Homo-oligomer: A and B are copies of this chain.
């Protein structure tokens, strides 16, 4: 069985998730398309990188990502660093002929995303952007139902992504609140997952109307090392810095195929943790999903008899997408790890079989175009087209 050597750039929370995916993928998908070997992990200091190697099961470590990108034994570059570094790493990796998987959003700006897309296209390498939530089995099942025509023509898509980890004004000014590093705020961080759902399940978005809010305009500047998700509370800090990104966006959508929609994303919704939801109305039925209860998909079929019609709660399992690879009983439990294991499988399959995989850098670029349009619309107060 073929082995593919992985060089992972970044050692934070996402490094954990991706490492688990590489370790677990062949356990779930067997025979595996190839065995991903955790070859080298990179962090910004040698000691941190050494620790990451021990923790995440990599053979070696480095503090200079360029060396890993240029290492001829490396097949895959996995980018799990903050957004401001994605473009430089990905472009270098593409030039070095590596297959690339990057965390989302693809970049800070549409321009960066375009350069990344051009680079991988020119290099002919495989590329993926890690919008992993669409790989939740229940989301894949929604896609399958829609493709089978089970709910007829899609009329309406409503998506939300609500969290509350930044609702506290005392949570520190991490990089996720800084435009120079993150590019945008809630929109790029979590809103893009909903855009990915919308494009995956319904089709291309052609026009948007948006609003954006920054509810908490300044936050404490932590003097210590900043947590990756900014959830560590500042203690004794008095200095505050300005937040220059959005806390919340709300937008109306029009799709190429005539459907309409809306998206709301916020990190200021007390009590909502990872409330990534969609509800889709079609001519022949409806589908609803809430990632907080991700083993379940709700579906209603218009063709059911009047006295037996209602939303069915389907627990995904062996009868559903990737069912034979996952757990043998529904609700045994899909966690975050499983979404990443499926993602790793699909990316490595694409490499081995020389096929396209989605969402790729083109999708990541399109999501940037749409995000830009949302922010432009929020400024102009008018609908903004996202296609020429």
- A contacts, CB < 8 Å to B: 1, 13, 16, 19-20, 23-24, 26-28, 30, 32, 35, 51, 54-57, 141, 151, 155-156, 158, 162-165, 167-168, 209, 211, 213, 215, 227-229, 231, 248, 250, 252, 260, 262, 264, 266, 268-275, 279, 281-286, 291-296, 298-302, 304, 306-315, 317-320, 327-339, 381-383
**When chains A and B are docked, how far (Å) is the Cα of A313 from the Cα of B293?**
13
A268 to B16, CA, bound (A): 39
A298 to chain B, nearest CB (A): 8
Q: Which one of A16, A54, A309, A333 has the highest number of Cβ atoms from chain B below 10 Å of its Cβ?
A: A333
List the B residue with the shortest CB-CB distance to A303: B270
- Inter-chain CA distance A30–B16, complex, in Å, is 11
Given contacts A26-B54, A27-B16, A337-B337, contact A270 B252 (CB under 8 A): no
Given the known inter-chain contacts A54-B26, A260-B211, A315-B310, please indicate yes or no for A332 contacting B274, CB distance below 8 A.
Answer: yes
On whether the beta carbons of B268 and A213 are closer than 8 Å, the reply is no
Q: Which DSSP category, helix, strand, loop or mixed, fits chain A's interface? A: mixed
Give CA–CA (A345, B69) in the complex, Å.
34
Known contacts A312-B311, A314-B310, A337-B335; decide if A23 and B20 are in contact (CB<8 Å).
Answer: yes
The docked-state distance in angstroms from the alpha carbon of A301 to that of B301 is: 14
Cα(A228)–Cα(B332), bound, Å: 15
Interfacial chain B residues near A285, Cβ < 8 Å: 270-271
With contact pairs A57-B27, A281-B266, A313-B310 given, residues A331 and B382 touching in the complex (Cβ less than 8 Å): no
10 residue pairs A–B, Cβ–Cβ below 8 Å: A16-B28, A20-B27, A23-B57, A156-B250, A227-B328, A229-B329, A270-B285, A274-B331, A292-B295, A311-B312
